[in-house]
Amino acid sequence: MPRPKQKQTERSRAKSKKHRLYWRPGEPHDLDDLKEEVLEVDRQVPGQIQSLLSKAELTHERLKALLASEQYQEDVTQPFKVADQQAAQIIEGRFGNRKHIQHLQWFFALLRRKRLLGRLSAIEAALELVNGLLEEEETLTQEFLTALQAKRSSSIPQTHADPAQTRISLTKEEERLQGIDEPLTEIITSAKQSRQLLTHFEERLPELRRHLSLYNGWFEVFYVPKRHYKPTLIAYAEALEQEQQRKIPILDRIVQALHPEVARHLRLGIQPKDMPKDLRDEIYDIIQEGPYVRYRWREQGHIYTISLGLLDDYPPYPFVPSGF
């Protein structure tokens, strides 16, 4: 199957003209713009390095404020305690009338700590990437520059041969191929390690995202169905009992009010709960009680729940009906 045509983008450099084969060094050429691009990048590099340095210093200061502050040296969990107190006030204001408010407090405290660990893991992975990239950037490494100069000095022939004499020993075809098989690493530096570092970082991204989203939950509003026997079924069951015990016939209006299949099962002594499911709507009146609220989260494939029921949602246990 042919590949779809890609949308043509505007060229950043003009095409070489038809007389390019006759161009000679020193004459104007479209690629002369490369020199200005080199100078432009040279102008950008110091500002970029300064920006990176400022961000590194800011990272260092924030980490010191988090873990190395003098007031927290004896108890590194002190920042958490401050956050817990602030969160507790908010939770108390919003959910103070719930039965499981303490469990909600603990869960959100755990969630804050998990997210901090997730952020620290992401920061550590990013710093590993940064340090690895800086380590490979040979143009910033004095040791590389010294070694490169020494290598170039050792590779310079001691005898100064005439370049014209050297060319005489090569055919034109050999001259065209001369030097293209030698590695470019000494000229443009290697990006192999950088690519490996970026690939490793990309492979870790799903894990880093998972740490940040771990324990993410949601509030859920739900209703609880409550079943009650239909009045027609109760009336028929009571009349059936009178018929079986005292031989009192069941009134026609009671018989006609109940589904005939339900009546037949009752006469056979089958309890309503054991009747076929397709008769459920003929047996029960279903009332949706609620709304009720709960907080839920997923953890390792399982769903966990903190009920947000009110303190007075349920009577004291054991339940004693009024009048007894």
Any idea of the CA torsion for 311, 314, 317, 319, to the nearest 10 degrees?
A: 150
- pLDDT tens column, 139-148: 666 555 566 5
Percent of the chain with pLDDT over 90: 30
Q: What is the DSSP letter of 65?
A: I
Instruction: Provide the pLDDT confidence category of residue 271 given band limits of 50, 70 and 90.
Output: very high
Give the sign of the dihedral formed by CA 108, CA 109, CA 112, CA 115. Answer: negative
Phi, then psi, of 104 in degrees rounded to 5: -65, -40
> Can you give the pLDDT at residue 315?
65
Average pLDDT over the chain reads: 82
Q: Which residue has the higher pLDDT, 71 or 291?
A: 291
Within a 13 Å sphere around the CA of 74, how many CA atoms are in the beta-carbon half?
Answer: 1
> Can you give the pLDDT at residue 2?
62
Q: Is the pLDDT of residue 324 over 50?
A: no
Instruction: Provide the pLDDT confidence category of residue 296 given band limits of 50, 70 and 90.
Output: very high
Instruction: Provide the pLDDT confidence category of residue 320 given band limits of 50, 70 and 90.
Output: low
Tokens read off for 173: 């075809």
* Residue in the structure block whose two tokens are 């520059």: 145
d(CA 64, CA 80): 15
Q: Is the pLDDT of residue 295 over 70?
A: yes
Q: Where are the domains of the chain?
A: 79-143+186-215, 220-307
- pLDDT tens column, 205-227: 998 888 888 778 899 999 988 88
> Can you give the pLDDT at residue 162?
55
Q: Which residue has the higher pLDDT, 30 or 125?
A: 125
291: preceding bond cis by omega (within 30 degrees): yes
Q: Is the pLDDT of residue 323 over 50?
A: no
Q: Which residue has the higher pLDDT, 84 or 16?
A: 84
Evaluate whether 134 touches 224 at the Cβ level (below 8 Å): no
d(CA 115, CA 215): 9
> Can you give the pLDDT at residue 98?
93
Q: Is the pLDDT of residue 230 over 50?
A: yes
Q: What is the DSSP letter of 75?
A: -
- pLDDT tens column, 87-120: 889 999 999 999 999 999 999 998 888 888 888 8
pTM, 2 dp: 0.61
Question: What mean pLDDT comes out for the span 187-193?
Answer: 76
- pLDDT tens column, 50-60: 998 898 899 88
